[in-house]
Chains A and B, each alone.
Chain A
């Protein structure tokens, strides 16, 4: 490790981190926001059942307070962002002078370089633990993206809490549900204000386990627990990347700072990476490892397969965790460690990079799959995958602010869509659009209206929220440069095309979804009716945000907006500080905006013609509500049929993972390993034992019994035999003895005579 570090004389520079410990009370005490739900988790878990409303009231109250605190923190941040010029924290860095990068270069890169104004992040830490002589801290890093996420998470979470009180009213695990919503909120909020990557990793896994618990909320049925398991395991694959990536960064920073063993600090890591003071190879490897984590958590192709299955959980969970907040953790992590990715993947270099490619593919792949789903939540799940791909792609092309903005708007309209689908499903007791739904427009006006508004926002028609954020991403690709657009970090024409195609596809599949759910005749059973107010009010709030949120960041050249509204979001959220790379921004392009709008309208038009004209006509002819043309392209063209089958089977990825990878590991590989263990290693051990036993037996039989014991026995036997023979002499008859006596006397006499 240390061989990477060559200390050269001189060449020390100041590397500004762009962080401060001062600031408004709310900025310094942002840790309260995750702490409150964490406490409420404990309280609900242990005492929730005894509360009048099963703990839900506590969850809502705490989230309400957290939301207010988040808003106040946001306000404080705006003030801080614009006014605060306190002392910045510098960390001196000794630069390797004989290597590729010189001190001057670093100075250019870090402290100078167009940072005319700064937005100092507020960092506060306390020591968490110490190991190996290194102190590890836990703390908060409050800056633009963190504040934005705090508000989004608390708001959506609050609305979902309210919604859930009606949606899972009579559930047997009502209290547990709210306890884990609280824990999830706490973990997610901690994730967004994490000061270091270790803390990030911790909360990253905690949100994962909340997701696991909530997906498996109804664990009595095996498919639900299977889905939960799949989600957790897929995420675990990504976490492996996260663990490795974080480790690499830890030691890379350590080797760049001569007095330090390593550092998890996000600000330091980013600052050093942005200043070009971390080795490119390490950054590249770390970025790729972290990408694996992003792919699993944010459902990027090819680790996205858990996300549709995760819809097995209750709908509020899908809305909060698997659409609005947790799944964007991956996107947020890229945004947080943008310096690492920016340098590691050379995002500014306009060459195709891993992140942009994965994002682009995901966005297309997800959109295509949304066409073949019958389950309304799965349509939305694939749509989420597609939109997350959009965000990752945006980050991959360097459009950081656009990605964050899309994350912001997407959270609202996608939560609205999910909650709307839940409202519809609640009414019809099923999620299958083709067999359970249809014609709900008339009976569920609120759900219908909010769903359509959110759908348009998702598809991206002006002036709905999705339009602004999507348009920024398309501009940010820089690919429109050929047609008069300006700037950006590179010219990713391919990503522009992918984004455009996805926009059309999105419009089309949402048209299909809306038609199947709300138009035609009701195909399910029972009497559906509009949901209660605790469901519709959150829907309308989110729908309102789906309309209005986009206005926060209208492009700077947009004449219709007052100047103060232009790029307001970007101004507040985008960090301008040492810990953030210097990114350039694309200027707005009227032509691109019009082009993308036309593309979206085309998507609407084609799908609308198919469903509202052709299918409607066929339904009228058939006398019942159809969901597709009886002689549609899939029945007419073999190629279309093949494509359809391919999509229905989800590109066969599930077969690959569940069947081959997981099944293979669990089945043959594990069995083989165990057989090896039992037959080879354990057999070896047994063999040693058996050999010892048989050797012992051999020694006993051959040596001990035959030789040693043989001698002993032989001597005894000889004595015995002799005795046996001699005893015959002792007949007991006196005359025999006398005979012997005389015989002996005779012999002795004879001897006497001979000798004498």
Chain B
């Protein structure tokens, strides 16, 4: 089994959705039941493969790439098919594998207009391949290909199944992201040619950057290109405007996938590609990234406060939350990047869930105008409760997942990596902390307007407004369970990421932990009471 996984596991997980797509293409469009079944079975199969991968994943060596496959892919351009999983990508892969089946279950019997489940489900499955592929790719060209594969299905999803302004939104999404990707591709090519590497594999390029001494200016420019490519996807502050439009117009499931996974492609790009390959440039850029991140936090929050549309508000909150993630990344400490991955997972679950809720509310009330809603807790108490929990999770309540993305991010900003301006980052920290207040402000305001109070007259007797349905329960329960589970025991994620982050950073940056060798401790004359381990060595000395 392990052997099989080693050679085939990742490939199987990545391309199984395409097999599903092929089968669905053979089924006539009218057989909706079969389409749904095929799509669901495919996505569950992928999730199952993911579980197998998790099961045989060596948690004691999360820093090492596992299940690696390394084959020549396109010889002419020296691109390799190299895939692998380490602790940084595993949580995001599992997140993707979780969200996709839930999206399929959610849309089981209410596909957005103009229906056509066949096309819709095919697009979702193609998206899944693209997303998983991006997270497992270890070669720049491969990474880029998967990164771009994601674009088209999402474009069609918004453009075909979207709201009234869908053409504008989809085109904006597509062009904006494509613009970034183009610069990213240029950066990749520049790296390849400047380093004279033998292949596009990340690790090799990173080694060659070190050994070939790419000039500092070149590094800065290349990082800038990647920054634009990934930053637009995140999205960071001045490049965020595609997001509210895309979210507002996208169908519910599209919004969920967009928020839960697609945005993470950007942040993942930073921690997987940009920083490990160009650490020196990262140090130069970090204060600016941090600045844009905190501006995004405050700015996104203010944007939320000004919204009148629930879905748009949630979309803007993504800008603020991804600001926390980017701030954590900008610290360039292992602590911060752990927080960032946690923040990605938490945001994926929570905001995905919020978009599900917004979709269901829209279905019942046929509007998301906040001023027209109210009394959800009266008419659909369970849904109101879930909404309350998600709002609390989103504003970073301890005990729910959001806190572990937010608080460590703030904490890490107090002490950024060596070479970064400490005072600047501490200012960022305080501003980010202010962002938590604003987050509470807009989310509770939203909660109050939507869930509390009595139902407005126009909806009071509406029979459409029912409580959570069976499909919704099926789709939501796992997400809610994970929100609570991670909130109570954050080690579910940190355990996986920590080693990988540590390894990734240690190879490129000498981070700020002061390491004392045993000899030094001896020299200080206190070896017997010196507590080398960490917090829990009391027993060794005291008990």
Interface residues, chain A, with chain B CB atoms under 8 Å away: 1-2, 5, 9-10, 12, 14, 19-22, 87-92, 94, 123, 125-137, 201-203, 205-206, 209, 212, 216, 219-222, 225-226, 229, 232-233, 236-237, 239-240, 243-244, 246-248, 250-251, 254, 258-263, 265, 662, 665-666, 669-671, 673-675, 677, 681-682, 685, 689
Contacts and interface: CB of A to CB of B under 8 A. Distances in A.
Contact of B445 (A19, A130, A229): A229
A216 B418 CA distance: 47
B440 A233 contact: yes
Interface in B464-505: 489-491, 494-495, 497-498, 501-502
A87 B241 contact: no
Interface string B417-448: 01000100000011001101110110011001
Nearest to A665: B305
A677 B296 CA distance: 11
Contacts of B463: none
Contacts of A262: 415
With most chain A CB atoms within 10 A of its CB, the pick from B304, B333, B491, B532 is: B491
B541 A89 contact: yes
A225 B172 contact: no
A209 B391 CA distance: 12
A665 B438 contact: yes
Contacts of B536: 125-127, 135, 137
B530 A259 contact: yes
Interface residues of B, number: 86
Contacts of B501: 132
B502 A222 contact: no
Contacts of B185: none
B397 A209 contact: yes
B526 A219 contact: no
B513 A236 contact: no
B531 A243 contact: no
B484 to A, nearest CB: 10
A662 B440 CA distance: 12
B453 interface: yes
11 contacts: A129-B491, A131-B408, A133-B513, A244-B429, A244-B430, A246-B411, A247-B414, A251-B414, A261-B513, A662-B441, A670-B306
Nearest to A225: B452
Interface stretch (B7-15, B34-42, B130-138, B334-342): B334-342
Interface in B291-306: 299, 302-306
Nearest to B299: A673
Given A14-B529, A236-B437, A239-B437, 13 more contacts: A87-B543, A89-B541, A129-B489, A132-B338, A135-B535, A219-B451, A232-B444, A236-B436, A237-B437, A261-B335, A263-B535, A674-B306, A677-B299
B28 interface: no
B534 A134 contact: yes
B67 interface: no
A220 B452 contact: yes
Contact of B524 (A5, A12, A219): A12
Nearest to B337: A132
Contacts of B526: 12, 92, 94
Contacts, number: 222
B238 interface: yes
Interface in B142-174: 172
Contacts of A244: 410, 429-430, 433
A441 B184 CA distance: 80
A205 B398 CA distance: 7
A700 to B, nearest CB: 18
A126 to B, nearest CB: 8
B453 A220 contact: yes
Contacts of B398: 201-203, 205-206
A2 B338 contact: no
Contacts of B57: none
Contacts of B412: 132
B367 interface: no
Interface in B377-407: 377-378, 392, 397-399, 403, 407
A259 B532 contact: yes
B176 interface: yes
Nearest to A234: B437
B135 to A, nearest CB: 21
Nearest to A236: B440
Nearest to A208: B397
A128 B403 CA distance: 14
B173 to A, nearest CB: 11
A125 B535 contact: yes
Interface in B507-542: 512-514, 516, 521, 523-526, 529-536, 538-539, 541-542
A681 B410 contact: no
Contacts of A14: 529
B238 A92 contact: no
A378 B448 CA distance: 24
A134 B437 contact: no
A9 B523 CA distance: 8
A133 B335 CA distance: 8
A286 to B, nearest CB: 11
Contact of A666 (B441, B497, B535): B441
A450 to B, nearest CB: 35
B223 interface: no
Nearest to A195: B535
A258 B539 CA distance: 20
B376 to A, nearest CB: 11
Given A206-B399, A240-B437, A243-B410, A130 B498 contact: yes
Interface string B198-222: 0000000000000000000000000
Given A88-B542, A132-B338, A251-B415, A682 B241 contact: yes
A463 to B, nearest CB: 43
Given A244-B433, A265-B535, A666-B441, A130 B407 contact: no
A216 B444 CA distance: 12
Given A128-B491, A201-B407, A202-B399, A225 B305 contact: no
A2 B512 contact: yes
